[in-house]
Amino acid sequence: MGGAAVAVLAAATARRKSGPFVSLFSRAARRLHDAAETAAAEEDKAGTQSRRRRRSSSSLLLGPDFLDTWDPISRDTTPQAPPRCAQADYDRTATIIDGKSIAEDIRFHIAEEVCQMKRSVGHVPGLAVVLVGDRRDSESYVRYKVKGCEEVGIKSLLAKLPGNCSEDEVMDSVSRFNEDPSVHGILVQLPLPEFMDEERILSTISLEKDVDGFHPLNVGNLALRSRNPLFVPCAAKACIELLLQSGIELMGKHVAVIGRSKVVGLPTSLLLQRHHATVSVIHAFTTNPEAITRESDIVISAAGVANLVRGSWLKQGAVVIDVGTNPIEDPTSDYGYRLTGDVCFEEAVNVASAITPVPGGVGPVTIAMLLGNTLDSAKRVYGQSD
Ligand code: GUN
């Protein structure tokens, strides 16, 4: 509210009030009001017109909805080879953060708790996955999630729908799982086919079963540090878990998060702030991202662009968490492609003090976090949460 408006409101409030403070308050309010009027008159001369023109509607204030397209190449549908990284020609300095073994440890403890739950209440946690279409990457992620459930004794249910099904059919699957008491967690594998309204579908998932943490209330509660979300998105939790388990201090550290997606970048930046880190969010419209990463103690990349982060982007001794899983052609691989990260590993490993590999870094810990969220949800249902 502008100064003049505050003064007017104060004067009006004072007029409505009675008692000994009224005249004093009105005098003060009038003085404020007069001062504001004088200032406004002066500003008027200096250019009210341009100020009026600049005042925006609330939809404009929320910003235009631009997609993060990282480079002109990615708009092209023909696959392009990512930039080649320089081969290491001197000793590596970085510790490799072993996501596989950290995930194994977490799964071990989850399996123990699932056994205990079965003994005490006769139920196990249940995770339902909705998969729409036949994207190879989504199918393989879902396979890993189902396998993870099997390993720890969580029941998994899969609703597989064709890519040309209707939005209502997806919503029906979600609703059925919402009502099923044996299901404690529901996830709709993203991305959905482009014609579907992702937000509408995701907000159908019951808040209490939103193990992905994408429901607007869970995201909002994550953003508000005085509140606690029921679930935090799994990849964001995985990044923090990897850093904490590697003994890396977050408080006061400058962290560059590359990417601002609902799945990784946004929740990771929010979670880092809850850990009192200073966060720079880099996105496709950021000018000179390398200058920001070079200033950062920790770089977390979730841009989805192979080899985006070069060795020259990093400060000596920085910690690097690579969330990227980008398929690149590889005729020597069984599938004709292999997964590579956002970070040019061969270069970064000579500059960083610690780095996660791809594969074997963030991925397995993310799945362990999903199993953990499902277990937490079931514990809440059966009155076993701390
Ligand atoms: N697609 C890629 N990562 C994720 C994830 O964490 N959850 C869901 N639902 N879809 C994804």
pLDDT in tens, 319-373: 999 999 998 888 998 888 889 999 999 999 999 999 999 999 999 999 999 999 9
Distance CA 103, CA 144 (A): 13
The protein residue whose alpha carbon is closest to atom 11 in ligand 1 is 190
Distance 185 CA to ligand 1 centre (A): 14
Q: Domains in the chain, start-ordered, CATH in brackets?
A: 121-208 (3.40.50.10860), 233-363 (3.40.50.720)
Between the two ends of the chain, the Cα-to-Cα distance in Å is: 44
pLDDT for 58 equals 78
> Which of 138, 190, 192, 210 should be mutated for ligand 1, with most atoms under 8 A from CB?
190
* Catalytic residue list: 145, 189, 212
**In the β-sheet with 278-282, what is the strand arrangement from edge to edge?**
95-96, 354-355, 319-322, 298-301, 254-258, 278-282
Task: Identify the pLDDT of residue 121.
Answer: 98
> What is the structure's pLDDT at 53?
61
- The number of residues making up the chain comes to 386
Q: How far is the CA of 138 from the centre of ligand 1 (A)?
A: 8
pLDDT value at residue 47: 56
Q: Tell me if the bond preceding 359 is cis, omega within 30° of 0.
A: yes
Residues of the chain with pLDDT under 50: 1-29, 32-33, 73-77
Atom number in ligand 1 closest to CA 188:
9
pLDDT of residue 379: 98
Distance 137 CA to ligand 1 centre (A): 11
Most distant CA pair in the chain, distance = 88
In the reported structure, the alpha carbon of residue 55 is separated from the centroid of ligand 1 by a whole-number distance in angstroms of 39
Q: Are the CB atoms for 85 and 346 separated by under 8 Å?
A: yes
**Which residue type occupies 353?**
S
Tokens of 79: 């696959």
Distance 188 CA to ligand 1 centre (A): 8
Q: Which residue's CA is minimally distant from atom 2 of ligand 1?
A: 190
* Best CA proximity match to 347, nearest among 337, 359, 339, 355: 355
Q: According to the model, what pLDDT value does residue 21 have?
A: 33
pLDDT in tens, 164-188: 999 999 999 999 999 999 999 999 9
Atom number in ligand 1 closest to CA 366: 6
Q: What is the pLDDT of residue 93?
A: 84
pLDDT at 346: 96
Ligand 1 interacting residues, C-beta cut-off 6 A? 187-190, 212, 234-235, 263
Convert 49-67 to b/e letters by CB count within 10 Å (16 or more is b).
eeeeeeeeeeeeeeeeeee
Nearest-atom index, ligand 1, CA of 190: 10
CA-235 nearest atom, ligand 1:
6
Which of 141, 232, 365 is the best mutation target for the ligand 1 pocket, counting ligand atoms within 8 Å of the beta carbon and taking the most? Answer: 141
